[in-house]
Structure 1
Amino acid sequence: MNSIRLFVVSLLISVMSLTSAAQAQAPADENQLYNAWSYLLGRALIIRQENTDMREPGMNYNVIKYHNLASDTAFVNPNFDVAYLESWIAIDDNSAALVSVPEIKDRYYTIQLLNEWGDNITNINSRVYPNHPSGIFALVTAHSNVKLPAGAIPVILPSNKAKLLGRFELKDSPEEATKLQRAVTLTITGTPHITQPPAIPEFTNDKLPGVALFDNAEAILQSAPDYTPVAAGVQQSVRDIAQKVHTNSQYRQQTDNALTQHVIPAFMQEAHTGIATWKNNWLGGHKEGRGYNGHYGTDYRMRTAINLLGIWANSPGEAVYYLATKDSNGQSLNGNGFYRLHFPATALPETMAKAFWSIIMVSIPDYQVIPNPLKRYNFNNYSGLKKNSDGSLDIVIGPRPPKHFPESNWLPSSTNQAFAFTFRAYVPEPDVAAGDRFPPAVTPVNENQF
């Protein structure tokens, strides 16, 4: 009898042990894993960009780099319609960054500040600061001990670092835009302690990190505060997964399999089609139930997608962005083919924006310009495009200039190179800002039909 009891007890213990082991080794719920991984990736993308920036000549913390984008073609998601400047601000409670902005009239400009997760902090311009569009703006921490100069406008940063980007519309006088760009200066008071970014795995846009992203999760989370209302909960999910992949090799492998086979493909699909409105095979504008560019609220997955596809996106009041990777038939855009964008006379691109519009072709997956002999990468208000006899406008894309078509309206592509279009409307019209108006579809055409 005792032997039977011992056998039953041993059997129960074995079953309980097997159950506990199975539970310990079970992979994370894929929805939880999706949320945790996409959240952590959002910060990793900013860290990657910070590291990339610091390897560039002329870049350093608290130093403005003034770009001449006519030659700076290696810039990610470039904008050749503006004179560009950038800096990484790094301060502490005993230091401040003083940004001097000149008086600017009759020209679009903005000094954009973003936090270390990719959220917009503010834009320094006449629209956001109508009573103080120029002068000294003091970037400080919330608990700053710095006595500011008289008349300086304080701008409180949510953490000790911020990305600063300046844009000055070229219009038809690029020399004047460059002069204004160079008039923006940055002065640091005190000697700030600058923390280096935490380690992240190496990755590219077409090979995003798998389970290795969780290896330094705690340091990544601690490297910058995140003020999205759901941060605490999703950060705990990140920590739970990170702890398990660190201590259980089987769980680690199962998690990596789930990421590479399911989570990452699903995220890429969401990033390209789900974060904004999809119309005319353009992705852009606001989508009901999602966040807004630059102000994502609880929509951290959209924030991560923007950090991946169009890092440093501005708020909708400043700019609306549209991304096209497919033609009107749903096929991927490729440099072997010819395409046309047709704007009716009643819906020309300049009617979409109060400031200016632009369209640029960039490569996939790295979102950089595609070299061509003409060094022509974009069109905008001042490109001298020729309209049709009925007042409409055609833009043609292809590897060769099409016959019987104005070369001024031709945007060169490169054979066998996949590409995307970014269309920008700066200070968009209300229907554009509301997501009710889109660029026309990119239509495939025969090069001999013109």
Structure 2
Amino acid sequence: MKQQILADNNTYEIGIQAYIYAYPMILMEITRRLLTNVEASTDELVPMNQFGHRRDFPDQTSKAVVRPNADTLYSVAWFDVSQEPLVLSVSDTNGRYYMLQIIDMWTDTFAVPGSRTLITKAVNYAIISPKWQGKLPDGFEPIYSPTTVGCINGRTQTNNVADYENVHQIQDGYKVTPLSQWGKSYTPPTKVAVNPAWDMKTPARVQIANMSAGSYFGLFATLLKDNPPHQVDWNIVKQLEQIGIVPGQDFEFSKLNSTARQMLEKALVDSPKIIANQGERFGENINGWQIAREGMGSYGISYLRRAYVALIGLGATVPEDIIYPISVIDGDGNPYHGSHRYVLHFDRDRLPPVNAFWSLTMYDSSGYFIENPLNRYCIGDRDPLKFNSDGSLDIYIQHDSTGKTQESNWLPAPADEFNLTIRLYWPKTEILSGEWNPPPVKRVK
């Protein structure tokens, strides 16, 4: 009897680990379906192996994405290289900052062509599946994808609304072409087969929450056939085999005994809470800012961290590209509220040390932009800020107008609760090492 109890507990524990390990890939897959299961491109949806571009900033009416940015315009292409490599082409950006983050189905960033990697001239890459055995022609930079399916998440520096036309020209230079069509007059298909069985209305996280253990782990096993574990995952792969999950094989939930099925169902209920609670141990808390300088975008065997990052920000990139300090409290530890006035002060020699640019963004308590008389959702070093006589900088954070003399440095706040995010694009070593931290936001008394 004791051995049976131990075996049952072991099944439950492995089920927890399996859920956490699988979660990013399951979330990627459901998200992929929601964004690509269309015959032809629309404003929001684009078929596989085609680029879709965001042509303007979101505003206070946009609720599709939590914590959007007003610094860059996005260009996204989900890819499937199971049949052949996919050529990724980039035109000359004329020195403008951009990055094309490429992530696998585990949410690991494995390549980031762009300004940080010193590429602003025209170039052609070939994204290659781990199963492909062909020979790549000359003239292509190979990018080896750890998984057959993945996503290109592009960001192009956009200074303001007047800058849109310039950015659109650069976005139009991002192209993906099947290798067999390279050099030919290729037009992306406009009549792509869709899967009518896929749920295109329910948000990805809700779909996952509604899955049974058989459905969740069954889908995971199916995905593993084309998206193999990383080499460092050998230990957890051995554990998964004990509950019947073997890479390359179907998962037959019905063949497990009833107790094992019950334990996996229990693991399915308990695992999301474990992932959510990881936030309490995520990053550092300094001056009222939560800062994650490591363990983002490339996770190794930190499966719980990877799952948590997928939960709060699917597709997060590596710190070398962007760091996002978040603040929900002022320097005294009190939550922000629009009934108060605040100042973020940077000393002359303590401005954010970045190679690209930085911004401070305002969000309401739900993580969305707020309506304000300036239609200003963020403020940063590309704005016509007024510096103090000693070279220091003050940003005024408040609901009521500052008046014309300080309006250039005013970040409008809502009348009630809010929170802030600093975006540090291509941060310098001082940020990555922790030598530099954002100063506290101080309430004006």
Tell me which residue corresponds to 1:283.
290
User: In structure 1, how many angstroms separate the alpha carbons of the residues matched to 2:340 and 2:207?
Assistant: 26
Residue segments in structure 2 that go unaligned for 5+ positions in a row: 38-42, 182-188, 246-252
Q: Residues 106 and 355 of structure 1: is their aligned pair in 2 closer, same or farther, counting only changes over 3 Å?
A: same
- Shift in Å, 1:198: 9.0
SS at match of 1:46: helix
Tell me which residue corresponds to 1:104.
93
Q: Residues 330 and 229 of structure 1: is their aligned pair in 2 closer, same or farther, counting only changes over 3 Å?
A: farther
Tell me which residue corresponds to 1:321.
324
Q: Residues 251 and 270 of structure 1: is their aligned pair in 2 closer, same or farther, counting only changes over 3 Å?
A: closer
- Does the 8 A contact of 1:91 with 1:160 survive in 2? yes
Tell me which residue corresponds to 1:302.
305
- Shift in Å, 1:381: 1.7
1:27-426 residue pairs with structure 2 within 5 A? 35-54=17-36, 57-71=44-58, 73=62, 74-93=64-83, 95-125=84-114, 127-128=116-117, 133-144=121-132, 148-171=136-159, 173-189=163-179, 209=209, 212=212, 215-223=215-223, 224-227=227-230, 229-230=232-233, 232-233=235-236, 236-237=239-240, 240=243, 247-248=258-259, 251=263, 255=267, 259=270, 264-265=272-273, 267-271=275-279, 273-286=280-293, 292-334=295-337, 337-349=340-352, 352-365=353-366, 367-402=367-402, 406-416=406-416, 419-426=418-425
Q: Residues 278 and 180 of structure 1: is their aligned pair in 2 closer, same or farther, counting only changes over 3 Å?
A: same
SS at match of 2:232: coil
SS at match of 2:76: strand
User: In structure 2, how many angstroms separate the alpha carbons of the residues matched to 1:232 and 1:323?
Assistant: 34
Q: Residues 71 and 79 of structure 1: is their aligned pair in 2 closer, same or farther, counting only changes over 3 Å?
A: closer
- Does the 8 A contact of 1:112 with 1:165 survive in 2? yes
- Does the 8 A contact of 1:102 with 1:184 survive in 2? yes
Q: Which amino acid letter does the alignment assign opposite residue 258 of structure 2?
A: T
Q: Deviations 1:124-172 (Å, cap 9, x if unpaired)?
A: 1254366x95321111213325564541222121222111122222347
Tell me which residue corresponds to 2:249.
none
User: In structure 2, how many angstroms separate the alpha carbons of the residues matched to 1:228 and 1:277?
Assistant: 30
- Shift in Å, 1:190: 5.1
User: In structure 1, how many angstroms separate the alpha carbons of the residues matched to 2:202 and 2:23?
Assistant: 12
Deviates more, 1:389-398 or 1:228-237: 228-237
- Does the 8 A contact of 2:81 with 2:129 survive in 1? yes
User: In structure 1, how many angstroms separate the alpha carbons of the residues matched to 2:193 and 2:295?
Assistant: 31
Q: Which amino acid letter does the alignment assign opposite residue 377 of structure 1?
A: Y
SS at match of 2:325: strand
- Does the 8 A contact of 1:140 with 1:157 survive in 2? yes
User: In structure 2, how many angstroms separate the alpha carbons of the residues matched to 1:162 and 1:377?
Assistant: 31
User: In structure 1, how many angstroms separate the alpha carbons of the residues matched to 2:393 and 2:414?
Assistant: 23
- Does the 8 A contact of 2:341 with 2:399 survive in 1? yes
Q: Residues 416 and 255 of structure 1: is their aligned pair in 2 closer, same or farther, counting only changes over 3 Å?
A: farther
- Does the 8 A contact of 1:118 with 1:312 survive in 2? yes
TM-score normalized with structure 2 length: 0.77
Q: Deviations 1:355-377 (Å, cap 9, x if unpaired)?
A: 11122233555x44344453321
- Does the 8 A contact of 1:386 with 1:408 survive in 2? yes
- Does the 8 A contact of 2:35 with 2:45 survive in 1? no
- Shift in Å, 1:250: 6.0
Residue segments in structure 1 that go unaligned for 5+ positions in a row: 1-15
- Shift in Å, 1:416: 4.3
Q: Residues 225 and 353 of structure 1: is their aligned pair in 2 closer, same or farther, counting only changes over 3 Å?
A: same
- Does the 8 A contact of 2:287 with 2:331 survive in 1? yes
Q: Which amino acid letter does the alignment assign opposite residue 143 of structure 2?
A: V
- Does the 8 A contact of 1:39 with 1:234 survive in 2? no
TM-score normalized with structure 1 length: 0.76
Q: Deviations 1:184-229 (Å, cap 9, x if unpaired)?
A: 2222245999997999996787998388466421322441323161
User: In structure 2, how many angstroms separate the alpha carbons of the residues matched to 1:405 and 1:204?
Assistant: 46
| Larger-Rg structure | 1
User: In structure 2, how many angstroms separate the alpha carbons of the residues matched to 1:204 and 1:100?
Assistant: 30
SS at match of 1:354: coil
Q: Residues 373 and 116 of structure 1: is their aligned pair in 2 closer, same or farther, counting only changes over 3 Å?
A: farther
Tell me which residue corresponds to 1:7.
none
Tell me which residue corresponds to 2:437.
438
User: In structure 2, how many angstroms separate the alpha carbons of the residues matched to 1:329 and 1:438?
Assistant: 16
User: In structure 1, how many angstroms separate the alpha carbons of the residues matched to 2:104 and 2:336?
Assistant: 33
User: In structure 2, how many angstroms separate the alpha carbons of the residues matched to 1:199 and 1:205?
Assistant: 12
- Shift in Å, 1:325: 2.8
Q: Deviations 1:298-339 (Å, cap 9, x if unpaired)?
A: 112222222222322222322222222333233444555543
SS at match of 2:408: helix
- Does the 8 A contact of 2:275 with 2:307 survive in 1? no
- Shift in Å, 1:114: 0.6
Q: Which amino acid letter does the alignment assign opposite residue 361 of structure 1?
A: M
